[in-house]
Amino acid sequence: MEEREHVVGKSVTRVDALEKVTGRAKYTEDLCDKSAYIARVLHADIAHGIVRSVDTSEAQKLSGVVKIVTCFDVPKYYFPTAGHPWSTDPAHQDVKDRLLLTEHVRFYGDDVAAVVAENEVAAAQALRLIKVEYDPLPFVLDVQKAMEEDAPQLHENYPGNVLKHTSIHKGDFEKAKEEPGLIKVEGWYQTPTVQHCHIENFICYAYMEQGRYVIVSSTQIPHICRRVVGQALGIPWGNVRVIKPYIGGGFGNKQDILYEPLCAYLSQTVGGRLVKLDVSREETFVCNRVRHAIRTHLISYVRPNGEIAARKAECFSDQGAYASHGHSIGAKALGSFPQLYPCENFEGDVYTVFTNKPVSGAMRGYGIPQAMFAMESHTDDIAVKLGIPPYEYRWKYLMPKGYTDGFSKNVNYYDTFRECMEKGSVSVDYERKRREYAQQTGDIRKGIGMAAFWYNTGVWPISLETSSCRMVMNQDGSIQVQVGETEIGQGADTAFAQMAAETLGIPFDMVHVMTMQDTDITPFGLGAYASRQTYMAGFSIRQTAELLKSHVLDTAVEMTRQMKENLDIIDGNIVRATDGSVLMSLGELATEKLYSLTNCGHLTAESTYQIKNNAYSFGCTFAEVEVDIPGCRATLTNIVNVHDCGRLINPALAEAQVHGGMSMGIGFGLSEELKFDEKTGKPLNNNLLDYKMATFEDHPDLHGEFVENYEPTSAYGTKALGEPPVCSVAPAIRNAILNATGSGLNELPLNPHRLFAKFREDGLI
């Protein structure tokens, strides 16, 4: 009998590899006709104030200027920008606090006016000629100072600038902390404002066709974008068409609606002409989205053996000027603490607070990198204070097998943490190096540290989770696959093709995934975020492939006179399962079905699957550093990430995801920080020269390891991997520096400035 060749689990070549390496892949810029008008946005040069007037008279006289629109001209439809699933339940709808352009400036870089011109030069010159008068208002940049009684208020409906405050209470913290013999460990931990720094800046273009708005955008969320543009312009959502081509990275920044509504509106103002709105790198840092800076206060009361008797956490999440993804980031961060190290007596509060800084939104990890830096730094602080080896402490107290979260209903089905720790420890020779580095002296010292993390897969039960898929069989038996989930550089289309081929029983190269989402054509899907795509799309892909397979086998019954239950599809052929005989190829079947004079038919299937499950992903990072104490510099010399992301659909793609996440985590840990002038609120380093991203020279060899525990809730046994690799890198580096020097730094990035201050405080220099 013929054996089926499995596609899932193999490192097949990416479906988009040839197009990308040869430069033939078409991105938004490549698709935009050269006749397009150019749109540019005028950004505020104060941190807070009211626009009194906008004088465009000189700019209007400039040759090449077509249209100038100010904050006084645009429609006043408030809209949300977060790329969250929308629901008919008002409680599951994002805050509507944005306008296309604003009279109330809330950060240095807010959008005040826009120019449409015939070319880039005219647009840039026109911006310089527009004169804006403001009534300045006081501004606040610090998240806790923004909560003070006399702080300037950014939004009328949010007293104290608190967008939202939520709490978690388990057991009785106050009573539990009074237990005799407890040891108190306390610390404040701070993560900075950082930016995604994807290669392709945000770009979109828009035009009108038959009374409808057509928008081509570098977006992670085309179907959500369609809805938000409709809301922003006050038009029926069906009057909007969004097309998403290849994307040069997003990492969550493009999980917000950035300038698509404004671009569409500007097209309307010039008679529906083609208008392109491109964003510079400097604008990307300030006027798109950034990662939430979160300040965390942790207090733990532990028994001498390390057991946690009571724990309290407070998180202050810096939202910036507008709501965007808002409180969901802080809430996820807080919720991680009582899960990573289960504690019967836990008290936690998280405040998401408006400040006069760039808007914080989704970024790879969605609150967990910030939370893990706090929690895993604090964990090493506990271990050091108690004299327990950090590895041993985690082995005893990390989430055990069988743990179930009461809210998400997630279950830890395996002893994953310990499996990952053991694999990572062996990989870096952890125990030997801990002993070797224990008694160091001198100016150059080595250290090794570790940190763990957990992550959810998708957003259920907080928000809607759904996926749709369409499959069409071609004349040669190959299939076209369309899903609403988006390829943004991570290799999703390849995984989709592998899953479709596996279920349908055809070779991988017979699957053609339509990478360009088009809301007029593509079945509804929510897009790329929350490490959801392979897990969520797997449900609809499997369901749709099984439907199509059933249709094909029904056709095969007609043509072969065999019993359906005795037929199968193996390697693109109709096979009689009872003896393995190949009866016909899929190409022969499809051609006959499409062109039959007696029984013509279209072989296609389409379905939607609403997912009401979530899944834990787990892992850990081991990092080694060499610290130059007089030079106040930590050099990362070795790093390994270990992940349980379920069954690997494509091991090579999985490893690439891990390497990319580790790189982002290295920058987050050692060098990246968007800084602001305390006197003006102006961003100081919003460019790739002064903003210190980690480069190749800052990276040692990157190592990814996997523990493949099949996820029982999943269509293909897989679960989240896109975001997890970034989550535990920074605290592992911090803990390695602690191991090397005895100094525990509690604020990122761990750059020479911070090392100098801490080493001087601790008497090392």
Q: How many residues does the chain have?
A: 765
Give the pTM: 0.96
Sign of dihedral through CA atoms 369, 375, 377, 379? negative
8 A C-beta contact, residue 222 and residue 330: no
Q: Which of 355, 341, 292, 293 is nearest to 313 (CA)?
A: 341
Instruction: Please tell me the distance from the alpha carbon of residue 663 to that of residue 672, in angstroms, as a whole number.
Output: 12
8 A C-beta contact, residue 261 and residue 100: yes
The dihedral formed by the CA atoms of 563, 568, 573 and 578, expressed in degrees to the nearest 10: -70
Q: Which pair of structure tokens corresponds to residue 34?
A: 């050269």
Query: Could you tell me the CA-to-CA distances from 479 to 469, 471, 552, 588 in Å, in that order?
Result: 12, 6, 12, 14
8 A C-beta contact, residue 526 and residue 221: yes
Instruction: Please tell me the distance from the alpha carbon of residue 632 to that of residue 752, in angstroms, as a whole number.
Output: 5
Q: Give the pLDDT of residue 565.
A: 96
* Pairing mode, strands 346-354 and 162-170: antiparallel
Looking at residue 262, its amino acid is L
CA–chain centroid gap for 251, Å, is 5
Q: Name residue 241's beta-bridge partners.
A: 214
* Pairing mode, strands 511-513 and 479-483: parallel
Domains by residue range for the chain, with CATH: 14-23+465-608 (3.30.365.10), 35-136+196-285 (3.90.1170.50), 397-458+613-764 (3.30.365.10)
Q: Which of 461, 454, 459 is nearest to 406 (CA)?
A: 461
Q: Which of 450, 456, 416, 495 is nearest to 641 (CA)?
A: 450
8 A C-beta contact, residue 214 and residue 207: yes
Q: Give the pLDDT of residue 476.
A: 97
Q: Which of 176, 513, 167 is nearest to 343 (CA)?
A: 176
* Ranges in the chain, pLDDT < 50: 1
Instruction: Please tell me the distance from the alpha carbon of residue 519 to that of residue 223, in angstroms, as a whole number.
Output: 6
pLDDT digits (tens, 9 = 90+) for 582-634: 999 999 999 999 999 999 999 999 999 999 999 999 999 999 999 999 999 99
pLDDT digits (tens, 9 = 90+) for 298-344: 999 999 999 999 999 999 999 999 999 999 999 999 999 999 999 99
Q: Give the pLDDT of residue 114.
A: 98
CA–chain centroid gap for 715, Å, is 22
Reported in sequence order, the residue ranges of 495-545 that DSSP labels E, i.e. its strands, are 511-513, 517-518
Q: Give the pLDDT of residue 394.
A: 98
Q: Which pair of structure tokens corresponds to residue 210?
A: 């038959």
Where do runs of H (alpha helix) occur along 105-199? Answer: 120-129, 173-176
CA–chain centroid gap for 103, Å, is 31
Biggest distance spanned by C-alpha atoms of the chain: 90
Looking at residue 174, its amino acid is E
Q: Give the pLDDT of residue 2.
A: 52
Q: How many CB atoms lie within 10 A of CB 239?
A: 15
Q: Which pair of structure tokens corresponds to residue 84?
A: 């969250």
Q: Name residue 164's beta-bridge partners.
A: 352
Q: Give the pLDDT of residue 87.
A: 86
Task: Give residue for tokens 């005799």.
Answer: 180
Q: Give the pLDDT of residue 3.
A: 62
Instruction: Please tell me the distance from the alpha carbon of residue 288 to that of residue 204, in angstroms, as a whole number.
Output: 13
8 A C-beta contact, residue 559 and residue 552: no
Angle 696-697-698 from CA coordinates, rounded to 5°: 90
Q: Which of 243, 723, 218 is nearest to 488 (CA)?
A: 218
Q: Give the pLDDT of residue 1.
A: 45
Angle 533-328-108 from CA coordinates, rounded to 5°: 105
